[in-house]
Chain A
């Protein structure tokens, strides 16, 4: 499944559509501690987190996440939103808890 497919599946609200919509999603990955996410996140993950600050964007870019999904109705702050636009990173959001959001990605990946 590509990032584009997840964007258009309608399960999540699109905060920023990045320039990587043709990228394949490997797996959903859940973590809020940035250094753990940085070290452990598999490449091309759909990263589900509640952290919406600018460092989340940096970690996603450097650890090669395919997209960020903000769970529990978390929002990007303004600096982070600007960074997402500038770096072309896809960011989605949902009211769902982290597990449910990741499960939804998992189900779509394995549909």
Chain B
């Protein structure tokens, strides 16, 4: 018997009214499971940033969240345009978000840096014109 739980979320394209629903849902599930609040905060922030990125840049996608006793793994998969230069995209302050996104308060170029900061492991695989998969892990214990 496996003691991992897997949840899958669809992230809608261009729908800012629903962006954050997946992260909120994971947050409340982890709360109910009695996970440490600091761990929950890390997962919430990392996942929300990923979710918003998918809405802004990638026409939506899917997120798998796998919870095990050791860690929480988030796999964010999209069929968007891909990231041309990952190193540049990882730099704080670098953003390709359009102006209409900036008026909503996004586009500060902090999405990927926040995801890295709040996860214990992060891996990005991206192919131009095919899509991007970001995998993040947050450990249950330091």
- Known contacts A53-B105, A55-B20, A62-B27, A38 near B117 by CB under 8 Å: no
Contact residues, B87-132 vs A (CB, 8 A): 104-106, 108-111, 113-114, 117-118
Q: Which partner residue on chain B sits nearest A43 by CB separation?
A: B41
Query: CA–CA, A11 to B108, complex, Å?
Result: 31
Distance (Å) between the CB of A54 and the closest chain B CB? Answer: 5
B44 at the interface (CB under 8 A from A): yes
- Known contacts A39-B118, A63-B41, A63-B44, A56 near B105 by CB under 8 Å: yes
> Are A53 and B110 in touch, CB under 8 angstroms?
no
> Are B44 and A35 in touch, CB under 8 angstroms?
no
- Known contacts A34-B105, A39-B117, A54 near B48 by CB under 8 Å: no
Distance (Å) between the CB of B137 and the closest chain A CB? Answer: 18
Contact residues in A for B110 (Cβ distance below 8 Å): 33, 35-36, 38-39
Contact residues in A for B108 (Cβ distance below 8 Å): 33-36
- Known contacts A59-B48, A62-B23, A62-B44, A39 near B114 by CB under 8 Å: yes
Distance (Å) between the CB of B119 and the closest chain A CB? Answer: 12
Known: A62-B24, A62-B27; 8 extra A-B contacts, CB below 8 A, are A39-B113, A53-B105, A55-B52, A58-B48, A59-B20, A62-B20, A62-B44, A63-B45
Q: Which partner residue on chain B sits nearest A58 by CB separation?
A: B20
Q: Which partner residue on chain B sits nearest A62 by CB separation?
A: B44
B136 at the interface (CB under 8 A from A): no
